[in-house]
A and B are shown apart, each in its own frame.
Chain A
Amino acid sequence: GENVEQHPSTLSVQEGDSAVIKCTYSDSASNYFPWYKQELGKRPQLIIDIRSNVGEKKDQRIAVTLNKTAKHFSLHITETQPEDSAVYFCAASRDWNTGFQKLVFGTGTRLLVSP
């Protein structure tokens, strides 16, 4: 089955710096890669996702890159703000039309942005 590894487990940055979180996956048939943000005491929420037919996707200050050959993908947050402090999870899955889908999560990264 799919196995997703995520690094680092904790990341501390100063406000305004960039943050990068990296994930690797094992199932070469996976083609959907979402990122979730979980604030303290709240439920995980999708912030950005990418499918294997693209290499990069951006949404304001966040971006995700995908290298299918190396089986890794990364989350990039620029100009970090204190409200970016949260736990971030990557995940991998086969897409909806494959008939076999399990959404497997990485181990999480606790991001702390200091003012």
Chain B
Amino acid sequence: EADIYQTPRYLVIGTGKKITLECSQTMGHDKMYWYQQDPGMELHLIHYSYGVNSTEKGDLSSESTVSRIRTEHFPLTLESARPSHTSQYLCASIEGTMKAFFGQGTRLTVV
């Protein structure tokens, strides 16, 4: 079934560790986005991609980086995690008509 998958769902790591959050979609969409969701709800766009080898920073400053080597894969990397990175990270795959499909999210806690 065509869907968008994020792993891991939950992650607790120590300060200073390097982590990669995985996002894969089987819908063949070119556009993919990463959002950071506060505990209080708000969705902040941190990275987006229009296709392979295309990546842009979003509106919220983020110390993370992304890559888009394959259409279906859009991983997000934190080189050195800090407690301020504790949040939920949502990946979205965007249909040509701009309809967004979200993954289940990764809830990250940095201790």
Q: Scoring B residues 82 to 111 as 1 if CB is less than 8 Å from chain A, else 0, what string do you get?
A: 000000001010101111101111000000
Residue B42 CB within 8 A of the other chain: yes
What is the bound-complex CA distance between A32 and B31, given in angstroms?
16
Tell me the dominant secondary structure on chain A's binding face. Answer: strand
User: B96, A96: Cβ atoms under 8 Å?
Assistant: yes
Q: Which residues of B contact A61 (CB under 8 A)?
A: none
Residue A107 CB within 8 A of the other chain: yes
User: A103, B59: Cβ atoms under 8 Å?
Assistant: no
What is the bound-complex CA distance between A36 and B99, given in angstroms?
10
Q: Which residues of B contact A89 (CB under 8 A)?
A: 43
Q: Which residues of A contact B41 (CB under 8 A)?
A: 87, 107-108, 110
Q: Which residues of A contact B94 (CB under 8 A)?
A: 101, 103
Residue A73 CB within 8 A of the other chain: no
User: A44, B90: Cβ atoms under 8 Å?
Assistant: yes
Number of interface residues, chain B, beta carbon within 8 A: 22
Residue B33 CB within 8 A of the other chain: yes
Whole-angstrom distance between the Cβ of B82 and the nearest chain A Cβ: 24
User: A34, B102: Cβ atoms under 8 Å?
Assistant: no
Residue of A nearest to B4 (CB): A43
Residue A45 CB within 8 A of the other chain: yes
User: B42, A34: Cβ atoms under 8 Å?
Assistant: no
User: A102, B48: Cβ atoms under 8 Å?
Assistant: yes
Task: Among B43, B97, B104, point to the contact of A105 (Cβ < 8 A).
Answer: B43
User: A43, B98: Cβ atoms under 8 Å?
Assistant: no
The A67-115 residues at the B interface (CB cut-off 8 A) are 87, 89, 91, 93, 95-96, 101-105, 107-108, 110
Extra contacts, 9 of them, besides A36-B100, A110-B41 (Cβ < 8 A), are A43-B102, A44-B43, A46-B99, A46-B100, A96-B96, A96-B97, A101-B98, A102-B48, A105-B43
Task: Mark A residues whose CB is within 8 Å of B.
Answer: 1, 32, 34, 36, 42-46, 49, 87, 89, 91, 93, 95-96, 101-105, 107-108, 110
